[in-house]
């Protein structure tokens, strides 16, 4: 399930981050005697997962200004049934799959027999038979991400694709997607984000994806100003 979420700090804190004591999750603030979680080096997905897990609790965090007060596309992970129920479903599925495969094979054999019989009666018909391309043809789509100024390849960039999931660029600054065209929506929305780069939102059509097979994205480095304080999270539309 996809959600758009906004992270906000309604009342920013003025305490000096550099003077706080270092701890595992971030730093300890002596003024309010609590841990300030350092979110500044995390991806959007990691931040949202932490905040949703702690929903209802007061959390103090340290962010770059570009990480907050903006819509974040978050793909919520599906929950799966516990093992006994899952095992029962798997066994039932295997029986259905076996029966389905057997019936499909019988149907295919019957079609093949009918086709061969027709060809024997009319040999010229063999030349007219053509193989249709699969409707679920697989397309390998590559997204390459660069620094706008230096043109260097960017690794670790979060790429959130609506209805598909969240991906991260590799050491070559690339995200490779294996897509079945018949399962891709007509309009694809993509968000590129990182703690030290400005967020970029794009939309492109399914037809463009099928034609180009790749795209290059250039991201602008963000401001380094940090913001601290109690964090709130809310769904947007």
Q: What are the per-10-residue average pLDDT scores of the chain (237 residues)? A: 80 88 92 89 86 86 84 66 51 49 53 50 49 58 94 93 88 90 85 85 83 90 72 78
Please tell me the predicted confidence (pLDDT) of residue 174: 96
Range of 170's domain?
A: 138-219
Give the span between the Cα atoms of 214 and 223, in whole angstroms. 29
Please tell me the predicted confidence (pLDDT) of residue 129: 43
CB atoms within 10 A of CB 73: 22
> What pTM was estimated for this model as a whole?
0.47
Name every residue whose Cβ is closer than 8 Å to that of residue 99 and which is 6 or more positions away in sequence. Answer: none
Q: Are residues 162 and 145 in the same domain?
A: yes
Total count of domains within the chain: 2
Question: Would you give the DSSP letter of residue 153?
Answer: B
Q: Are residues 231 and 179 in the same domain?
A: no
What's the gap between Cα 31 and its chain centre?
39
In a domain, residue 99? The reply is no
In a domain, residue 8? The reply is yes
């Amino acid at each position: 399930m996809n959600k758009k979420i906004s992270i906000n700090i309604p009342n920013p804190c003025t305490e000096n981050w550099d003077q706080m004591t270092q701890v595992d999750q971030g730093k300890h603030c002596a003024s309010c005697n609590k841990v300030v979680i350092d979110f500044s080096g995390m991806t959007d997905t990691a931040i949202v997962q932490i905040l949703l897990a702690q929903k209802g609790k007061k959390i103090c965090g340290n962010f770059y200004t570009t990480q907050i007060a903006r819509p974040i596309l978050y793909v919520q992970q599906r929950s799966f049934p516990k093992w006994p129920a899952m095992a029962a479903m798997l066994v039932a599925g295997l029986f259905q799959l076996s029966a389905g495969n057997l019936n499909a094979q019988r149907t295919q054999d019957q079609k093949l027999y009918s086709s061969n019989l027709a060809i024997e009666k009319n040999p010229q018909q063999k030349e007219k038979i053509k193989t249709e391309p699969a409707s679920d043809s697989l397309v390998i789509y590559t997204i390459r991400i660069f620094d706008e100024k230096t043109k260097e390849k960017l690794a670790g960039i979060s790429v959130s694709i609506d209805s598909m999931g969240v991906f991260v660029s590799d050491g070559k600054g690339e995200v490779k997607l294996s897509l079945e065209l018949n399962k891709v929506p007509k309009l694809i929305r993509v968000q590129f984000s990182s703690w030290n780069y400005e967020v970029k939102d794009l939309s492109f059509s399914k037809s463009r994806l099928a034609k180009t097979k790749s795209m290059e994205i250039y991201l602008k480095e963000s401001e380094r100003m940090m913001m601290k304080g109690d964090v709130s999270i809310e769904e947007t539309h």
